[in-house]
Amino acid sequence: MFKLSVSAISIVYCLIFSLALLSCQSKRHKILIGTYTTNESEGIYLCSFDEGKEVLTLDGLAAKTENPSYLAITKSGDHIFAVNETRDGNVTSFNRDGNRLVQSGISTINGEHPCYIDISPDQQFIAVANYTSGNFSTIRLTKDGNLDSSPVSWQHTGKGTDSTRQEAPHAHCAKWVDKSSFLIADLGIDRILPYRIDNDSKLEKVSEGTKMKDGCGPRHIVFHPHQDIVYAACELSNEVAVLEFDPVSFKLISKQYASTLPTDFDGSNTNADLHVSPDGKYLYVSNRGHNSIAAFKIMDNGQLNPTGHFPTRGEKPRNFTILPGGKHLLVANQDSNNIVAFRINSEDGSLEFTGSEIKVSSPVCLKSFNN
């Protein structure tokens, strides 16, 4: 009986030691960095973030490619797609091999300056927004995550009220709703438009979409994780729009336009990226000019209450990401060539500088992936 008790105690001690060891092994996130290659950058870079130590580390160049300004990663983390934001735009596909990306394909997209790419939930298609040409393209993917077909494109028409920025359509974001439907935000015509695609890659416009406030310039859109709400970063008016979304009819109804700037700011600014925290409690939007992240508390009805503005410790924060788990936020400051790590306060959603940042030339997209 005594020997059994000792054995039982030994097992308990082993379990406690194992759990303690696991708790000491902090999660290490891997993040791909898209850039503009007009200066010193050579393509896509890789960095790591140690969640326990709150330290960012640049792991180096992952792949050489021209102007990979926006990235998309499959659920497995094994396949990566990058837009090449040039006049003769392309999409380049890569397979991940450790810390390297090996090019597996390249395709034209029948558009100029592609600026956004998203993968359908079933991993069967990609959708690409082409800014200068004002159209979007879809491409079918193979079962092993590579490009499988020629692009199918759709051209937008019209213009907005801003004669400088809205002289023509400028598709800026493509966001999948489900495996066969997606939304396109067009900055140039102040509209968010719904489309469907069938198994034969045939496109269908569901409706004329939602007309936004004149001159607001919808740039990026995100969905609330638990409510039928869409948030749109309005680049030209420096607002975030709150829209009720009907997933059956694809109808969007505007409920609120909230400024992303402090009331006493009178400088030049355009907002850019936006994300909702994984728990659905907070929304964040980046400001280029004010160089801040605007934070909002999300109310029960999906509308927004501003809670503060947090300096990004750099210039022109074009893109940022909230890491899985929702504890940290990383910001890519394009003009100051740095990526900065912030801690998210779980009590009020405020951002606190961790003390860690890295230098990367012209960073404009951050995407974390499964190791």
At 144 the pLDDT is 87
CA angle (324 as vertex; 322, 326 as ends), nearest 5: 60
At 15 the pLDDT is 46
User: Is the pLDDT confidence value at 350 over 50?
Assistant: yes
Residue 66, both tokens: 């021209």
At 149 the pLDDT is 79
Mean pLDDT of 154-158: 98
Q: For 266-317, what is each residue's pLDDT tens digit?
A: 999 999 999 999 999 999 999 999 999 999 999 999 999 999 999 999 999 9
Residue with tokens 């999660």: 27
Confidence band, pLDDT 50/70/90 cuts, at residue 167 = very high
The DSSP-derived string for 170-232 is -EEEEEEEETTEEEEEETTTTEEEEEEE-TT--EEE-SS-EE-STT--EEEEEE-SSSSEEEE
Q: For 205-235, what is each residue's pLDDT tens digit?
A: 999 999 999 999 999 999 999 999 999 999 9
Distance between CA 213 and CA 164 in Å, rounded? 17
Q: For 6-64, what is each residue's pLDDT tens digit?
A: 455 454 444 444 444 344 457 999 999 999 999 999 999 999 999 999 999 999 999 99
At 23 the pLDDT is 42
At 287 the pLDDT is 98
Least confident of 23-27, 170-174, 234-238: 23-27
Report, in angstroms and rounded to the nearest whole number, the Rg of the chain calculated over CA atoms. Answer: 22
Q: Are 166 and 190 in contact (CB under 8 A)?
A: yes
Distance between CA 168 and CA 328 in Å, rounded? 38
At 370 the pLDDT is 77
Q: Are 254 and 243 in contact (CB under 8 A)?
A: yes
At 199 the pLDDT is 87
% pLDDT > 70, the chain: 93
| Interacting residues of 62 by C-beta distance below 8 A, sequence separation 6+ | 32, 43, 44, 45, 46, 99, 100, 101
Domains parsed from the chain with CATH numbers: 79-211 (2.130.10.10)
Q: For 116-150, what is each residue's pLDDT tens digit?
A: 999 999 999 999 999 999 999 999 999 888 999 79
Residue 364, both tokens: 């404009």
Q: For 176-207, what is each residue's pLDDT tens digit?
A: 999 999 999 999 999 999 999 998 899 999 99
Mean pLDDT of 106-115: 97
Q: Model-level pTM?
A: 0.93
